[in-house]
Homo-oligomer: A and B are copies of this chain.
Amino acid sequence: MTTRIDSFQDYRSRMNERILEIDHLGIKRFFNLDTAAYKDAALDTSTKELLGLVASTVLRCNDCIDYHLIQCIAAGWSDRELYDALNVALIVGGSIVIPHLRHAVETIDLLRAEGTVVADTNR
Protein backbone atom coordinates (compact mmCIF):
# COMPACT_ATOMS: atom_id res chain seq x y z
CA MET A 1 0.00 0.00 0.00
CA THR A 2 1.29 3.44 -0.88
CA THR A 3 1.09 5.75 2.11
CA ARG A 4 1.32 9.51 2.03
CA ILE A 5 4.92 9.09 3.27
CA ASP A 6 5.81 7.09 0.14
CA SER A 7 4.17 9.67 -2.11
CA PHE A 8 6.00 12.46 -0.32
CA GLN A 9 9.35 10.68 -0.65
CA ASP A 10 8.79 9.98 -4.35
CA TYR A 11 7.81 13.58 -5.06
CA ARG A 12 10.67 14.91 -2.96
CA SER A 13 13.30 12.72 -4.69
CA ARG A 14 11.98 13.48 -8.14
CA MET A 15 11.85 17.23 -7.62
CA ASN A 16 15.22 17.39 -5.82
CA GLU A 17 16.76 15.64 -8.84
CA ARG A 18 15.01 18.13 -11.08
CA ILE A 19 16.33 21.05 -9.02
CA LEU A 20 19.89 19.72 -9.14
CA GLU A 21 19.66 19.53 -12.96
CA ILE A 22 19.22 23.32 -12.93
CA ASP A 23 22.42 25.12 -13.81
CA HIS A 24 22.59 27.32 -10.72
CA LEU A 25 25.67 26.98 -8.53
CA GLY A 26 24.09 28.82 -5.58
CA ILE A 27 21.16 26.42 -5.35
CA LYS A 28 23.44 23.36 -5.61
CA ARG A 29 25.77 24.73 -2.94
CA PHE A 30 22.81 25.49 -0.66
CA PHE A 31 21.65 21.87 -0.94
CA ASN A 32 25.18 20.64 -0.09
CA LEU A 33 25.43 23.00 2.86
CA ASP A 34 22.05 21.82 4.11
CA THR A 35 23.18 18.16 3.98
CA ALA A 36 26.47 19.03 5.68
CA ALA A 37 24.75 20.84 8.56
CA TYR A 38 23.43 17.54 9.97
CA LYS A 39 26.68 15.54 9.77
CA ASP A 40 28.48 14.50 12.98
CA ALA A 41 30.54 17.46 14.21
CA ALA A 42 30.59 19.18 17.61
CA LEU A 43 27.06 17.75 17.97
CA ASP A 44 26.22 14.33 16.53
CA THR A 45 23.76 13.71 13.70
CA SER A 46 21.00 12.35 15.92
CA THR A 47 20.95 15.47 18.12
CA LYS A 48 20.98 17.73 15.08
CA GLU A 49 18.12 15.87 13.40
CA LEU A 50 16.11 16.42 16.59
CA LEU A 51 16.96 20.14 16.36
CA GLY A 52 15.81 20.06 12.72
CA LEU A 53 12.53 18.44 13.76
CA VAL A 54 11.75 21.08 16.38
CA ALA A 55 12.77 23.94 14.06
CA SER A 56 10.49 22.50 11.34
CA THR A 57 7.61 22.13 13.78
CA VAL A 58 7.70 25.66 15.18
CA LEU A 59 8.02 26.96 11.59
CA ARG A 60 5.01 24.77 10.74
CA CYS A 61 6.26 22.93 7.64
CA ASN A 62 4.76 19.43 7.28
CA ASP A 63 7.18 18.29 4.56
CA CYS A 64 10.13 19.32 6.72
CA ILE A 65 8.58 17.58 9.75
CA ASP A 66 8.20 14.34 7.77
CA TYR A 67 11.74 14.53 6.45
CA HIS A 68 13.25 15.06 9.91
CA LEU A 69 11.03 12.39 11.52
CA ILE A 70 12.39 9.85 9.02
CA GLN A 71 15.93 10.92 9.88
CA CYS A 72 15.22 10.95 13.64
CA ILE A 73 13.71 7.47 13.62
CA ALA A 74 16.57 6.13 11.49
CA ALA A 75 18.92 7.72 14.05
CA GLY A 76 17.26 5.69 16.81
CA TRP A 77 15.10 8.18 18.71
CA SER A 78 12.16 6.43 20.44
CA ASP A 79 8.56 7.61 20.20
CA ARG A 80 8.68 8.87 23.79
CA GLU A 81 11.70 10.99 22.99
CA LEU A 82 10.11 12.33 19.81
CA TYR A 83 6.91 13.24 21.68
CA ASP A 84 9.00 15.03 24.32
CA ALA A 85 10.75 17.05 21.59
CA LEU A 86 7.39 17.80 19.94
CA ASN A 87 6.10 19.02 23.30
CA VAL A 88 8.91 21.61 23.39
CA ALA A 89 7.83 22.71 19.90
CA LEU A 90 4.20 22.88 21.07
CA ILE A 91 4.95 25.06 24.08
CA VAL A 92 7.27 27.37 22.11
CA GLY A 93 4.98 27.64 19.08
CA GLY A 94 1.53 27.46 20.72
CA SER A 95 -1.77 26.01 19.58
CA ILE A 96 -1.13 27.08 15.99
CA VAL A 97 1.32 24.15 15.99
CA ILE A 98 -1.42 21.60 16.86
CA PRO A 99 -2.37 20.73 13.24
CA HIS A 100 1.32 19.96 12.67
CA LEU A 101 1.47 17.91 15.88
CA ARG A 102 -1.44 15.83 14.51
CA HIS A 103 0.48 15.42 11.26
CA ALA A 104 3.71 14.49 13.07
CA VAL A 105 2.06 11.89 15.31
CA GLU A 106 0.36 10.32 12.27
CA THR A 107 3.71 10.24 10.44
CA ILE A 108 5.39 8.51 13.39
CA ASP A 109 2.61 5.90 13.40
CA LEU A 110 2.90 5.39 9.62
CA LEU A 111 6.69 5.04 9.81
CA ARG A 112 6.50 2.55 12.69
CA ALA A 113 3.88 0.53 10.74
CA GLU A 114 6.20 0.39 7.73
CA GLY A 115 8.93 -1.21 9.80
CA THR A 116 12.58 -0.34 9.15
CA VAL A 117 13.18 3.35 8.48
CA VAL A 118 16.29 4.21 6.51
CA ALA A 119 17.96 7.60 6.69
CA ASP A 120 18.05 9.65 3.52
CA THR A 121 21.72 10.06 2.75
CA ASN A 122 21.20 12.17 -0.35
CA ARG A 123 19.19 14.74 1.53
The interface bits of chain A over 35-53 (1 if a CB of B lies within 8 angstroms of the residue's CB, else 0) are 0111001110001101110
Closest to A60 in B: B61
Q: Bits for A78-91, please: 1 = Cβ < 8 Å to B, else 0.
A: 10110111111111
B residues in contact with A63, CB < 8 Å: 99
A97 within 8 Å of B by Cβ? yes
Query: Which of B18, B30, B42, B84 touches A48 (beta carbons < 8 Å)?
Result: B84
Dominant secondary structure of chain A at its interface with chain B: helix
* Size category, A interface: 35 or more
Whether B26 and A33, one on each chain, are in contact in the complex, defined by CB atoms closer than 8 angstroms, is yes
Give the B-binding residues of A (Cβ under 8 A): 11-12, 15-16, 18-19, 22-27, 29-30, 33-34, 36-38, 41-43, 47-48, 50-52, 54-56, 58-61, 63-64, 78, 80-81, 83-99, 101-102, 105-106, 109
9 A-B residue pairs with Cβ-Cβ distance under 8 Å, sorted by A, are A15-B105, A18-B105, A19-B101, A19-B102, A24-B83, A27-B87, A43-B81, A52-B88, A94-B96
